[in-house]
Structure 1
Amino acid sequence: MPACSARGCKERKYHNGITFHRFPSDPVLRQNWITAIRREYFVPSKSAVLCSKHFREEDIDRTSLLVVRLREGAVPSIFDACPSHLRPAKKTRKPPKSRSSNIPPIPNPDNKIHLPIPKPATTETDLLNNPDTAGKQALKRKLQHAQSQLSLLRKKIKILLQAKRQLQKKAAHLSAVISDLNNSITRHSLIDPNESVIPDHDYTYVPRPVHVFRKNCCCIYR
């Protein structure tokens, strides 16, 4: 059986159009609800609820025939029989000197007090302690690390492509040099590979008489 978490509220049944709504999971909106009900040291559990009596009618979505929902960002602002120490202090204004009114004050038939909903200041510590925010920060750090690694890899790829182009230029230059050398050797070669180095001639030995003079040791060929 649900029980409204507002102080002094005794609603525990679905009747007369009353519905119960759990505290939101969004940490900021959840804190706004806790601040609105003004219960000191109150920490709502997963099953903690507030009844629809504490919400304005424009904050309630009754368009569905099956489920009654609260509109996005709705915050409780209506509290019946609020204890005196929790009521906001009323500012007294001095009546105008030259004005007078005989109209009696109109009492509030519903005896309902609309409390202003202060927006709690979200500090950096609260954001870091919030598990959702901490998870987002961790994902952000991982994304930054991945982007940094991607940038380094792109730089390495750029350097490798530059080195590849330089090697290709050197290889093309060396190929051109080798081709020029081959052409030069072919044009300026002194030896025709189709001709023999030694001409094909017949050599015949012809003996000649030799006269030897012993005195002068001379040899005369005739």
Structure 2
Amino acid sequence: MPHHCCAFGCTNRQNKDNRLRGITFHRFPTNQTARKQWEVALRRKAFIATVYSRLCSEHFRQVDFDRTGQTVRIRDGVVPSVFNFPARLKKPVATRTGWTSKQADTAASPNQSVYCSPPVTAGEPQPDPSLDHSYALPTCPDALKARLSEAMAEVESLRREKRNAKDRERRAKSTVCGLLEELRAKNLINQELKENMSYNME
């Protein structure tokens, strides 16, 4: 299953075409503080990265990459900073001001504060937000119907594959049972062995 970039408005997928374009995809840091910095930099409300979350290389500067090995890596301490945010997301990220909220932040990271580098606008036309991610619901009813039709078609395709797999399994069992009967008839195997083999196939 190809990964999608989880940055706002980014439609890049981890596929052959993007690989040929030199676009790489990167996991979120395992370090909690660094991961939080990446999450805040995305400016997506209530976004929490999972093990499947990826950011593509278009959201980092060239100096952010370590290309010394066979695999392109993000240097330690780097925070994604190249985004094409709409005007409403270009405002400074709100910080916690209440005593309870500050205590929660301190408990999560007592010695470090979350840093979000300023976004770098790419100057390109803003993509349709409905195309943001494969799991985001489109805002347009027609697009929503199209997405539902695609999902239903995929479900039906999976059902057909399941039926075909069951049919293949049934044919294989039938073939093996026929072979066992033939071997038994020729006295090449005894009844006990035949029954044991038949039992193991159930």
The TM-score with structure 1 as length reference comes to 0.40
Q: Which has the higher helix share?
A: 2
Could you say which structure has the greater relative contact order, defined with CA pairs below 8 angstroms and 6 or more residues apart?
Answer: 2
Q: Which has the higher strand share?
A: 1
The TM-score with structure 2 as length reference comes to 0.44
